[in-house]
Amino acid sequence: MIQRHTGLVLAFDVDWDVEKSIMFLNGISDLIDAVKIGWYQLLTIGPQGIKELTDSVNKYFLADFKLGDVAHINEYVVRKVYGLGINGLIMHAVAGRDNLATAINVARKLGVDVYLLISMSSGGELYDRNLDYNVSLGMSLGVSGFIVPATKPNVVRQVRSMVGSNYQLLSPGVGVQGGKPGCAIANGADFEIVGRSIINSESPRQAALNILNAIRNPISCS
Ligand code: O7M
């Protein structure tokens, strides 16, 4: 599980080299609880580059490859991700029970957390029609938590009321996509995932501090 200190997860969607990435992350590390990396970065610095990042930056790393293939491929990827020093990964609920179960078991044995994507910050209408099923699926498979969109506050509240306090809710879509900083947590999420509002800012530290301030003092969230 991600340890919560600030409530902020950085979506580190950049095409920078390893050196610049490490410098940036070390400069903001005290303000964030985890670093989410994904396809963009993997395709830029490669697996070796990702390994260098996890070796050099003392932070929880969440791999967002939105894994949703058949069972054996999911399992291969889980094992590779583990080898890169990753602490948690994200899977697509839409892959279904049979394709998720083995990989989730393998991940748990390796000590890698699995977070299940069950609704999307834009689109994702097939997910929203099957919210109850996907939440129950994740709980029965033993995931650590769920991805719930900051742009859909009713989904955040609904999922929290379904899962109680034993699952972590991570909420993307804050800032550029329209979710108000602080409001996903006010509505029941544990973490807000933020990328461009921090990364593209003239002052990333100040941008992150502003979001932390909103998390501590949420205003007009509905
Ligand atoms: O803050 P942004 O808009 O620059 O970036 C948002 C990040 O959250 C980006 O890394 C997306 O891949 C991710 N995300 C969404 O934007 N919407 C979703 O529905 C789900 C995710 C996500 O994190 O899925 C695991």
Q: Over the stretch 127-185, which tens digit does the pLDDT of each residue have?
A: 999 999 999 999 999 999 999 999 999 999 999 999 999 999 999 999 999 999 999 99
- Which atom of ligand 1 is closest in space to residue 66's alpha carbon? 25
Would residue 73 count as lying in a domain?
yes
The whole model's pTM is what?
A: 0.97
- Give the whole-angstrom CA distance, residue 120 versus residue 73: 23
Would residue 91 count as lying in a domain?
yes
The tally of domains found in the chain comes to 1
Would residue 41 count as lying in a domain?
yes
Active-site residue, selected from the candidate residues 33, 59, 64, 113: 64
Give, using CA atoms, the residue closest to atom 10 of ligand 1. Answer: 11
Would residue 12 count as lying in a domain?
yes
- Answer yes or no: is pLDDT of 222 > 80: no
Tens of pLDDT along 41-84?
Answer: 999 999 999 999 999 999 999 999 999 999 999 999 999 999 99
Query: Residue 3: which H helix or E strand, with range?
Result: none
Report residue 219's pLDDT band, with 50, 70 and 90 as the boundaries. confident
CB 118 within 8 A of CB 145: no
- Give the whole-angstrom CA distance, residue 181 versus residue 211: 6
CB 94 within 8 A of CB 85: no
pLDDT value of residue 212:
98
Rounded average pLDDT over 19-23 = 98
Would residue 221 count as lying in a domain?
no
Average pLDDT of the chain, as a whole number? 97
Rounded average pLDDT over 93-122 = 97
Domain span holding position 180: 8-215
Complex ipTM tops 0.95: yes
Would residue 69 show up in a list of annotated catalytic residues for this protein?
yes
Would residue 66 show up in a list of annotated catalytic residues for this protein?
yes
172 within ligand 1 shell (Cβ under 6 A): yes
Would residue 166 count as lying in a domain?
yes
Would residue 220 count as lying in a domain?
no
Would residue 2 count as lying in a domain?
no
Query: What is the CATH number for 54?
Result: 3.20.20.70
